């Protein structure tokens, strides 16, 4: 289990920030999201790319 130590307040939707926190603290390779209004607009957070499902599948 990952308990984020650092809080990120980057998304316009505060409910999305927990996903950013866990991805960054867990050193995720990607964040995969269908959230076109908030998360996908960020593009990348602290080196973690945020991709749509379609972009991720094409990347594979």
Q: What is the pLDDT of residues 14-58, one digit of tens each?
A: 899 999 999 999 999 999 999 998 999 999 999 999 999 999 999
- Cβ 59 vs Cβ 51: under 8 Å: yes
In a domain? residue 32:
yes
| pTM for this entry | 0.81
Domain count, the chain: 1
- Structural domain span for residue 40: 14-59
Which band of pLDDT confidence, cut at 50, 70 and 90, is reported for residue 60? Answer: confident
In a domain? residue 2:
no
Question: Is the per-residue pLDDT at 12 higher than 80?
Answer: yes
One-letter-per-residue 3-state SS of the chain = CCCCCCCCCCCCCHHHHHHHHHHHHCCCCCEECCCCCCHHHHCEECCEEEECHHHHHHHC
In a domain? residue 55:
yes
The pLDDT of residue 40? 94
Question: Is the per-residue pLDDT at 59 higher than 90?
Answer: no
């Amino acid at each position: 289990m990952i308990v984020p130590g650092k809080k990120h307040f980057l998304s316009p939707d505060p409910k999305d920030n927990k996903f950013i926190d866990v991805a960054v603290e867990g050193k995720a390779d990607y964040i995969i999201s269908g959230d076109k209004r908030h998360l996908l607009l960020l593009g990348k957070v602290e080196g973690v790319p945020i991709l749509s499902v379609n972009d991720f599948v094409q990347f594979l």
